[in-house]
Chains A and B, each alone.
Chain A
């Protein structure tokens, strides 16, 4: 049977499971709170799968094999080590965050920040940061899958057609079923994503005979792939340090991750979820490494889209190729839907008024964000990993703002809000070339994040000290 046959059959099963998940979630949703927080009682398995599906996106499944093929095994330090540390940060930050939520309540990260700082501007700084750097990230998910599908079926639909279809599916179940539908869909997509990647990786290693023989062939093909900084010299220590710092900040700075830490049912589930995520990350990045090394030997100088289409689809049995295509669509959708939904929820958290009116605004905002992402996707570039890293770096500028909000015992200091806001706007300036990307050889993201973190640490320390009791004036 042909690839198209399997693609239609598996695509229908996938769409059917999304419809069931949406209807089931819709039945359970009772009000605005339920729609936005999925009831707040997430178990560790569902939690682990939704966090993994949200974190590992098109950028992992399409970007990382290409990244390993181009830059070599240093990619393991770039992503696997950072993700292992990220799992630990989930526990550490999750505990503090949940304690703060018990104290202040939760209607969104921006709302929580406003409550902790005692002013509205802190929430607006956060909103600007997540909007500016998350819309492009959603766009690369959509574009990534558009490029891939149009490489497999060049005659069927252009890139923008695939992108529009994905946005339409995503909006349908997000608008109908809320966060619960997204979480159910993520669980399905997480399982597909992991199974498909492991299957392809097994095939890649098997084609060489063993891991040892695979690396031997890679050595013959390009010895520089076996060490840092890689053939193109990208993976320098400074690049890896900066990437490590911005990636471990993801649970703090990306609202779709932060909200999942809050809605875990209890501390035990949160901890187990973090362990599950760490295992998931190691497995999936290991698998993309094998796919990348296969590409380095068989498709060393091929265009990215041709390498991926050949390795993931045409070199496989039709049923596996079709499963991969569905897995890729699942990966793109599961990340993009969570991010768009989080953007809508964050906007709602800084608004006040009637619940039904707010819900209408939230749903309209999600559609607006989706359309903005779709338009950006049509015009954005093809370097998925580097664009994803830029998004992580941009949102990382918000980390001091959030850390001070969560860790300062009473009211967080406005000095941290000013420092984070300044760092954010300077970083946006560096992205648009208005200010240099490095000073004295040190990357601007490291300088800005380091300075604002320092302000946050001093502020938290000073404000956490017990106040000296002044003698009362008689």
Chain B
């Protein structure tokens, strides 16, 4: 159980860092480019929305992994 908790926490931290880097790289924000569009949304916007939702998922994973932690326990 403890290993599972640590794994989830580490996954969410690494995931968050990777998503942050992607969101600020040309992969998500290529200058002057708005194609391909998805559901009518320009490229940077739909990629940005997808990254926001993935970040929300990472926050949920982090919450699940530590929500039962006592106040003085180590992560």
Contact = CB atoms under 8 A, between A and B. Distances in A.
B72 A102 contact: yes
Contact of A91 (B41, B52, B63): B63
Contact of B20 (A85, A224, A266, A272): A85
B23 interface: yes
A88 B59 contact: yes
Interface residues of A, number: 49
Contacts of A73: 34, 42, 44-45, 48
A282 interface: yes
B60 interface: yes
Nearest to B60: A275
B52 to A, nearest CB: 5
B52 A282 contact: yes
A226 B34 contact: yes
Interface in B24-58: 24, 26, 28-34, 37, 39-45, 48-49, 51-53, 55-56, 58
A95 B66 contact: yes
A227 B44 CA distance: 6
Given A88-B62, A91-B63, A282 B23 contact: no
Mostly helix, strand, loop or mixed at chain A's interface? helix
A274 interface: yes
Interface residues of B, number: 42
A74 B62 contact: no
Given A73-B44, A102-B71, A229 B59 contact: no
Contacts of B60: 275
A91 B45 CA distance: 26
A76 B49 contact: yes
Contacts of B48: 73, 76-77, 80-81
A85 B24 contact: no
A382 interface: no
Given A271-B66, A274-B59, A77 B28 contact: yes
6 contacts: A81-B20, A87-B59, A271-B66, A275-B59, A275-B60, A278-B59
Given A85-B16, A223-B34, 4 more contacts: A87-B56, A237-B24, A274-B63, A282-B56
